[in-house]
Amino acid sequence: MFTSIARRYDLLNHVLSMNVDRTWRRALVRAAQPVTPRQVLDVATGTGDVAIAFARHSDADEIVGIDPSEGMLEVGREKIERLGLGNRVRMQAGDALALPYEDAAFDVVSIAFGLRNLPDFGAGMAEMARVLRPGGRLLVLEFFPPRGGLFLQAYRFYLGRVLPLAGRIISGSPEAYHYLAASIESFVSHEDIRRMMGASGLVHRKATRLTGGIAWIHEGERA
């Protein structure tokens, strides 16, 4: 599904978020700064926008983006080459539930809008924690439904009606954007994120609310 929309994926992200997605990624990179990361892994990297943000806005020496979709990775590699970041950013095909890296290999592991796409949230969390060094940070950027009231009603209307229509017009794949809306509505709670971090050997450090609570960054530290 993601390979089928890879060529229009970045455009859709920017249009559907009114470019706020760029701000969210910069906030994710800022959340990593207390660690002063040198080795960064971005899981479910898609077309590599988070990996590129780490290259642009941090001093990381090595940034790896991993994703199962070769179509998305191909677009990401083209962007990295065009930006001249190939000496710092590497894109790799792989499974988030079986990361092909040694234990404690990275200072920071990030996953942006990808946790809800994994077939097993807890197993994915545990695997990301495994490759973190002691004191390293796991950063989870995800959508959550905002609190009740008119804002929640407007948000659900956008997810259920506007987003699939725009997805069909721009990408030609309404199924992908119906899936996006459904995956947000059925995703776990903030407390579930904290619980999964604890079960994976992480200390939940902070949850940062973005854009009225549409998106959040959860930070966990490897004990």
Q: What pLDDT score was predicted for residue 153? A: 81
- Alpha carbon distance 114, 130 (integer Å): 18
CB-side neighbour CA atoms (13 Å) of 48: 29
Of 106-110, 165-169, 194-198, 214-218, least confident by mean pLDDT is 165-169
Q: What is the mean pLDDT of residues 109-120?
A: 94
Locate the domains of the chain by residue range.
17-144+188-222
Region 130-136: what's the mean pLDDT? 97
Q: What is the pLDDT of residue 173?
A: 65
CATH class for the region spanning 17-144+188-222: alpha beta
Residue 188 has a pLDDT of 87
